[in-house]
């Protein structure tokens, strides 16, 4: 069962990205199921613009190997049942929880970032 502060590795294109689970499961009427908000992290690439609302560094989580940013533009609402199925089938991989300080920093970034989609921001405001 996904819970807040948890992390999960989800494949996308040719790489897998670490996603942070932002809330405990809650019934979300728009999907008619229990859902959680996920946001992923991406490496900062030299010369490329990135969202500076939440930057994490080596040591902030065991998965982070170089300076990275929370990619608020890619935050999405996932159904718990869908995530559990993907984990059971071996497509998603559960990783270590993040610490309280990092979790609070990630959540705070939702109110700073101009990249958060409206539906995600409303879910965040109501459930995180």
Average pLDDT value over all residues in the chain: 95
Query: What is the C-alpha to C-alpha distance for residues 25 and 11, in angstroms, rounded to an integer?
Result: 22
Distance CA 4, CA 14 (A): 27
Over its C-alpha atoms, the chain yields an Rg (Å, rounded) of 14
Residue 67: which pLDDT band, with cuts at 50, 70 and 90? very high
The structural domains of the chain, with segments of one domain joined by +, span 7-127
Share of the chain above pLDDT 70, in %: 100
Domain 7-127, what fold?
SH3 type barrels. (2.30.30)
pLDDT (tens digit, 9 = 90+) per residue, 84-117? 999 999 999 999 999 999 999 999 999 999 999 9
pTM: 0.95
């Amino acid at each position: 069962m996904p819970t807040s502060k948890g992390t999960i590795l989800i494949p996308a294109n040719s790489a897998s990205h670490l996603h942070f689970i932002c809330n405990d499961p809650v019934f979300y009427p728009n999907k008619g199921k229990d859902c959680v908000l996920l946001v992923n992290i991406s490496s900062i690439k030299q010369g490329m613009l990135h969202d500076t609302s939440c930057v994490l560094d080596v040591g902030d989580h065991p998965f982070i190997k170089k300076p990275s940013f929370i990619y608020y533009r890619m935050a999405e609402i996932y159904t718990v049942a869908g995530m559990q199925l993907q984990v059971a089938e071996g497509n998603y991989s559960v990783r270590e929880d993040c610490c309280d300080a990092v979790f609070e920093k990630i959540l705070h970034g939702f109110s700073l970032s101009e990249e958060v989609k409206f539906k995600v921001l409303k879910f965040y405001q109501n459930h995180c």
